[in-house]
Structure 1
């Protein structure tokens, strides 16, 4: 998977930005910005990981629940965003952790760079002054790395998150090769992608999963790849790579 991830990250390189990787414990981020912000990113990762680790120490269910949890009250922003995303998508809060970390670090880095892209295991937070084309890695599907998602320039940050039942080590109860979700909130996009991926056992499930995704508040676009079949909905455009 490491080699596949390297290929995937090269395909996401935006012209004119500096790319660098930052690893802290289990967190490995590929970041693109106007300059090398490794030191700032490392501090941000440590801070947001600490928020999550402290919350799990106090509330162990946060780490392993497969269903939404109640409103946690006054907590760090990353915890509340994960909790709200999980509630919208109908999954446990840790289904949103990769997207939430990418988003939290990305927002912090906007202090030093007007363009920021943070990728965390296929979950991407982005603030860019240009349009963006995302490459879809979909395992053994013949559509893998041949299909891209074009998103027009946006004035604010947004997210594109991908979940797979056939690629990677993340827990999944589905068999989709790739489910990508577009949203303003990266935690929501991550949780929604996980939830919808869980619902795909065969290509016949694509239409139903998209209908469910459309009903999730905040979800703006969906792409689902299962074998040779692809489903598309929302504010995005498929392009051939």
Structure 2
């Protein structure tokens, strides 16, 4: 199954930022591609250089301490993953989405959607539907979240054991977490996904989600089964 875009452009300007291993798909009401590209490169280089000096930051499955001189993106990743109990790299995609979203909003944009491989940070001015991709599951691209502007800036992040290149120790086709913080949603999706195993997978995942402070809720898909918990936006058929 080919993956569709999670949200239609709906009158927004569409552009892509690519730098080394990062590929960000962006919808925005202002064409800020050039300056956003430079901001991506700047943050990528800061993180890359930090990892060169602190290689354990890259490989740890638990959050490692960082000092006050660490770059802002490192601090963002650290703050999020300490709430979850996973290594900082579990929040890297969500952190880049949020950093670029904040940058665009700070440079005059009013409506922004940044999609970093399924980890989405957005701030809307009109209602939109964000689709859920869950590999070969019957629910894949057939359900979505109705997102309204009153939610403000939020993160919608998905982890999967069957889709993509990120590490997941569970069996889920999709674990989608919504939170005010995109890196927190990213880290939480990874942690919850690791618990989604066997016949009690959805139950175990929801049990883990309830222990994570700061997330709004979670949607879990395994094959033809789906479960959810929390204060989620309306889930609709698409």
Question: Fold conserved (TM > 0.5)?
Answer: yes
CA, structure 1 residues 18+222, in 2 after alignment: closer, same or farther (shift >3 Å)? same
Report the Cα offset of residue 43 of structure 1: 0.6
Report the Cα offset of residue 188 of structure 1: 0.4
Match of 2:128 in 1: 132
Structure 1 portions without partners, runs of 5+? none
1:154 aligned counterpart, secondary structure: helix
4+ aligned runs moved over 3 Å, structure 1: none
Structure 2 portions without partners, runs of 5+? none
CA contact (8 A) 1:203 1:227 kept: no
Report the Cα offset of residue 77 of structure 1: 1.9
Report the Cα offset of residue 49 of structure 1: 0.4
1:202-213 matched pairs, under 5 angstroms:
202-213=198-209
Deviation sequence 1:116-157 (CA, Å, 0-9, x none):
110000000101112332111101111111111223323631
Query: C-alpha separation between the residues in 1 aligned to 2:125 and 2:210?
Result: 27
Query: C-alpha separation between the residues in 2 aligned to 1:170 and 1:81?
Result: 19
Match of 1:46 in 2: 41
1:49 aligned counterpart, secondary structure: helix
Partner of residue 79 from structure 1, selected from 66, 70, 74: 74
Task: Please say if 1:160 is aligned against 2:167.
Answer: no
Match of 2:186 in 1: 190
CA contact (8 A) 2:124 2:148 kept: no
Report the Cα offset of residue 170 of structure 1: 1.0
Query: C-alpha separation between the residues in 2 aligned to 1:144 and 1:150?
Result: 16
Task: Please say if 1:240 is aligned against 2:237.
Answer: yes
Task: Please say if 1:180 is aligned against 2:176.
Answer: yes
2:235 aligned counterpart, secondary structure: strand
Deviation sequence 1:36-82 (CA, Å, 0-9, x none):
22101211110110121121122111111111112433322211110
Query: C-alpha separation between the residues in 2 aligned to 1:37 and 1:64?
Result: 34
Match of 1:59 in 2: 54
CA, structure 1 residues 135+226, in 2 after alignment: closer, same or farther (shift >3 Å)? same
Report the Cα offset of residue 233 of structure 1: 1.6
Match of 1:117 in 2: 113
Match of 1:169 in 2: 165
* TM superposition score normalised by structure 2: 0.94
Deviation sequence 1:83-132 (CA, Å, 0-9, x none):
12111122110010000001101111111311111000000010111233
1:15-30 matched pairs, under 5 angstroms:
15-30=10-25
CA contact (8 A) 1:203 1:226 kept: no
Query: C-alpha separation between the residues in 2 aligned to 1:203 and 1:101?
Result: 34
Q: How many residues end up aligned between the 2 structures? A: 236
Report the Cα offset of residue 200 of structure 1: 0.9
